[in-house]
Amino acid sequence: MNRLKSWCVAGLVTLTGCATSLPPQSPTYGEDGPGIVLQSAPEIGHRPSSPIISRSNGNSVHGGSGELSPIDPQQTTSRSVASLAPPADLWDRIRRGYAMPNLDSDLVRDREQWYAGRPDYIFRMTERSKKYLFHIVEELELRNMPTELALLPFIESAFNPQAVSTAKAAGMWQFMPATGKYFELKQNAFRDDRRDVLASTRAALDYLQKLYGMFGDWHLALAAYNWGEGSVGRSIAKNQKSGLAMGYTDLNMPMETRLYVPKLQAVKNIVARPEAFNSKLPLIENHPYFQTVTIHRDIDVALAARLAEVPLEDFKALNPSINRPVIMAAGTPQVLLPWDNAEVFQSNLESYGGGRLASWTVWVAPTTMRPADAAKRVGMTEAEFRSVNAIPPRVVIKAGSSLLVPRTHSMSQDVAIKVADNGQLSLAPEVVSKRTVVRAVKGDTVSSIARKYRVNADQVAQWNKVGMSTSFKPGHQIIMFLTPVKQTAPQRRPTTAQRATRVAKR
């Protein structure tokens, strides 16, 4: 109850500085080419120097786009200060922060009907958002950004942090691998920060701010988030060259991007008036769902969930970037836990007497090898080895790959930061070798045969069941497994007539 009271007070403080509507500006592109913005956009996060403001056209805060004008200090003596009630819930808080221009079009109404006809889908989607929405709204308000952007993951992924598109975009904000790397989202063998709740939200808001800074218009920024900033820039430049308007609805763009903002507007309208669309929003209280807990030692995911007294599914939903059964403290020093379970976890961890915390460690492949050979070397079945490391069939593991293997009881050291933070699994297509018999000549040994056919000497010894120092007698049949070499068709010499034709063409 004390926590709820404190956050209610925080809600009152937040309302005094809620996001203001930023006037849209159309970027101007010069002859340097598309994507070169010559007109700067309004600075996001800038607050007016005058602390007392009023709306000159009387628009309400809910979706209004009226400009803000300063009040004469002399007027304040005759005005009463309106009392502001704290938001009833998080949905109310989001509505109060609406600050983007509304889009009114047939596509918006089409999407409204689509969502309204699927109330169960809307409810499941919003129920899933409970874990993440408060954090996103907090981050948006800290940056003075429109709070309807908190609804964007509904469009991107239905708030599923494990979502992966056909184009390999991942996470609830749907980052492509290259874009994720640009915004410092780690992607390695043990975690994918495109799915991380805190990291991906930070990156998404950084990206949206960058795009708004480029285009000066939230609808164009959203189009660029979906289609790419270069594509939007080129489309604007093309319209500008033709003397056409350069707004979101004026550009020639793919249907997916043309529907993108209408989808967000439709969800925004449903959140504003759910009863008008036969929709029901689950209660999301206006206080944090989770808090951050520091991890000092490697620990199994299942054990961490058990010590936190959290269902494993819920633990994974809050920590979706961890894609292996162990949390490596060097690479993932913090995890998220439901607010009331964080203290429980710390207490249970301190009193834990069950021995080691992690039953897995990392092994780096010394050479390129088949998964079956690697599994045998680390004492695992091939099926288990493939499963825990997500190795598909018909591939070989390249040298230097970092792989998860069982941790022995005598092993006390955790995974080093270099491996935990940068370990990669590199695979190559498996090439099927063909059994071949070659005849030894005078002086042939296991080593010389290995060099001659470019294979490992220990493989030659194993195939022939001999020692590494064995010398072969001339004529001895040596068993080899060699990769078939593609034969290139020999080039035919041109005929006399063809040569004569070439000379004539010169």
CB atoms within 10 A of CB 493: 7
Q: How confident is the model at residue 49 (pLDDT cuts 50, 70, 90)?
A: very low
Q: What are 319's two structure tokens? A: 């920590």
Confidence of residue 460 (pLDDT cuts 50, 70, 90): very high
The mean pLDDT of 146-154, rounded to a whole number, is 98
pLDDT score at 412: 87
Say how many residues make up the chain: 506
| Average pLDDT estimate for 442-457 | 93
Question: Mean pLDDT throughout 287-294?
Answer: 97
CA 462-468-470 angle, to 5 degrees, is 105
Element (H, E) at 505: helix 496-505
Q: Do domains 2-277 and 433-506 have the same CATH topology?
A: no
- Rounded to whole angstroms, what are the CA distances from 89 to 3, 8, 94, 149? 15, 10, 9, 17
Q: How far is CA 43 from CA 24, 145, 210, in A?
A: 11, 11, 10
DSSP label at residue 487? P
Where do the domains of the chain lie? 2-277, 291-350, 361-429, 433-506
Q: By the 8 A CB rule, do 350 and 316 touch? A: no
**pLDDT surpassing 50 at residue 70:** no
Q: Cα–Cα–Cα angle for 114, 117, 118, nearest 5°?
A: 95
**Catalytic-residue membership of 384:** no
- Judged by DSSP in three states, 478 sits in strand
Just give the CATH number of 433-506: 3.10.350.10
Q: How confident is the model at residue 431 (pLDDT cuts 50, 70, 90)?
A: confident
C-alpha span between 132 and 129 (Å, rounded): 6
Q: Where are the alpha helices (DSSP H) in 353-494?
A: 371-377, 382-389, 417-422, 446-453, 457-464
pLDDT digits (tens, 9 = 90+) for 216-235: 999 999 999 999 999 999 99
Residue 47 makes CB contacts below 8 A (sequence gap 6+) with 17, 20, 144
> What's the whole-number average pLDDT of the chain?
84
User: What's the pLDDT score for residue 497?
Assistant: 52
Please classify residue 381 by burial: count the beta carbons closer than 10 Å to its beta carbon, then call 0-12 exposed, 13-18 middle and 19+ buried. exposed
166 contacts 172 by C-beta, under 8 angstroms: no
Catalytic annotation, pick one of 138, 156, 184, 229: 156
The residue-averaged pLDDT of 384-391 equals 96
| 189/403 Cα distance (integer angstroms) | 8
Q: Please report the pLDDT score of residue 354 as a whole number.
A: 79
pLDDT at 56 > cutoff 70: no
Which whole number is the average pLDDT over 119-126? 93
Residue 499 has what pLDDT?
A: 52
Please answer whether residues 266 and 111 qualify as being in contact, where contact means their C-beta atoms are separated by less than 8 angstroms. Answer: yes
Mean pLDDT of the 476-505 span: 64
Tokens of 310: 């959290």
What 3-state class would DSSP assign to 434? strand
Quick one: pLDDT at residue 333? 95
Architecture of domain 2-277: Orthogonal Bundle (1.10)
247-251, 435-439, 502-506: lowest mean pLDDT where? 502-506
* pLDDT tens digits along 11-28: 444 433 333 333 333 333
